[in-house]
Amino acid sequence: MPIQQTLSIIKPDATRRNITGKIIARLEDSGLRVVAQKRIHLSREMAESFYEVHKDRPFYNDLVSFMISGPVVVQVLEGEEAVTKNRDVMGATNPAEAAPNTIRKDFAESIEANSAHGSDSEENAKNEIKFLFDDSEIVG
């Protein structure tokens, strides 16, 4: 199975509730390794750009406001099938539909404040990692 990298974000609802460690433990317990990590406060411009694919969706403005409402932890995860594995550990976007023992089932507050982001393809993962990290910040 191929070793991949994927971009993970622990969202402001989770930093606010002081549960970043619990979420990172779920990711590490799945076999994923954190190879880059920093706590940052996204600017509005960065959040708008990051979620540009959703700019025509009705939830876009609220999503951007939420993502800049507090600090986030951005991280690069590495491992076998990391893109899919991260999304499996996160669970469905809507916590009401997320499988048992997933991050979103256990920690999300709502479909918007759903505690974690994960890239949805290897190509998007590469672009999202480049958007948030310099090569020198990624240490395998």
Q: How far is the CB of 131 from ligand ADP (least distance, A)?
A: 15
Our CB check for ligand ADP shows the closer of 78 and 112 to be 112
Q: Does 111 engage in binding with ligand ADP (CB under 6 A)? A: yes
The count of residues interacting with ligand ADP (CB under 6 A) is 9
Residues from 75 through 134 that contact Mg ion (CB under 5 A): 120
- Applying CB under 6 A, among 120, 122, 137, 138 the residue interacting with ligand ADP is 120
Cα atoms found within 13 Å of the Cα of residue 69, Cβ hemisphere only: 18
Our CB check for Mg ion shows the closer of 21 and 62 to be 62
What's the longest Cα–Cα distance across the chain? 39
Q: Does 63 engage in binding with ligand ADP (CB under 6 A)? A: yes
Q: Does 117 engage in binding with ligand ADP (CB under 6 A)? A: yes
Our CB check for Mg ion shows the closer of 21 and 65 to be 65
